[in-house]
Amino acid sequence: MRRNRASGPAAGFTLVELLITLVVLGVLLGFGLPALMNLVSHRKVESHAHNAGSMLQHARFEALKRGAPAVVALEGRELVAFADVHGELPTDPPDGFFTPDGSAPNGTDYVIGRQSVPNGVVMEGPPGDIAGVSGFTNVGSGELRAIFDPDGSIRDTGALRMHDRGGNFLEVRVEPQATARVEVRKWDGSAWRAQGEGGSTWDWN
């Protein structure tokens, strides 16, 4: 005996319903995905800025603790902090360069920490001042490095600067010279501002 199909709505999607669903998903992704990517991008540059700030503070504490200068340098796509115990020769004074030498009578230069620059973060400032390192001490050949002296001061004030793919620029500034305070600030198009400065929060692209 032939059975009749049950009447009522179909159990699955029709081709038209499936196409409509895909179109709606495409529209939602078109609007939502760029916003999500921007969020991930600016979180990444903000995290890197705060980590760089922590490295600078750690280098300062190491200089105070060890009684020897500590240096933070941008080497390609990596920030490196090291204790600067001596110069090229063990008898030379600290020179701002990493020159480990186990035979040095007063110890040796040693690494305090390393931090890679994340993908999508560029170590550059805003247009017109694109240097990734602004200020600090020139140790020769235009190499600018943050040097903390044993009294906790910074030899020359300055900043590390960076941006994400969305054009959000941050800097990690060290000033004043005597107390070497570390602060993360954002470029608002006309000035660098700390989070909450003037009662306002940062705007992100």
State residue 89's pLDDT score: 80
User: Mean per-residue pLDDT for 26-42?
Assistant: 68
Q: Is residue 7 part of a domain?
A: no
User: Mean per-residue pLDDT for 94-106?
Assistant: 76
State residue 105's pLDDT score: 53
* Torsion sign over Cα 124, 192, 138, 60: negative
Q: Is residue 29 part of a domain?
A: yes
Helix (H, G, I), strand (E, B) or coil at 134: strand
The domain tally of the chain equals 1
pLDDT above 80 (res 9): no
State residue 42's pLDDT score: 82
CA-wise closest residue to 140 among 204, 73, 203? 73
pLDDT above 80 (res 7): no
Q: Is residue 152 part of a domain?
A: yes
The domain that holds 59 is classified in CATH as 3.55.40.10
Q: Is residue 105 part of a domain?
A: yes
User: Residue 101: exposed, middle, or buried by beta-carbon count in 10 A (0-12, 13-18, 19+)?
Assistant: middle
User: Mean per-residue pLDDT for 134-143?
Assistant: 92
Cis ω on the peptide bond leading into residue 118 (within 30° of 0)? no
Q: Is residue 151 part of a domain?
A: yes
CA-wise closest residue to 51 among 78, 83, 71? 78
Q: Is residue 158 part of a domain?
A: yes
- Owning domain of residue 149: 15-199
Among 24-28, 84-88, 91-95, 135-139, which is the least confidently predicted range? 24-28
State residue 106's pLDDT score: 59
* Separation of CA 66 from chain center: 26
Residue 34 phi, psi dihedral angles, 5° rounding: -60, -40
Q: Is residue 109 part of a domain?
A: yes
Q: DSSP class of residue 94?
A: P
User: Mean per-residue pLDDT for 6-16?
Assistant: 63
Q: Is residue 204 part of a domain?
A: no
**Bigger pLDDT: 70 vs 38:** 70
Among 95-99, 144-148, 176-180, which is the least confidently predicted range? 95-99
Q: DSSP class of residue 133?
A: E
Helix (H, G, I), strand (E, B) or coil at 197: helix
State residue 71's pLDDT score: 97
pLDDT above 70 (res 197): yes
Average pLDDT, the chain: 87
Residue 72 phi, psi dihedral angles, 5° rounding: -120, 125
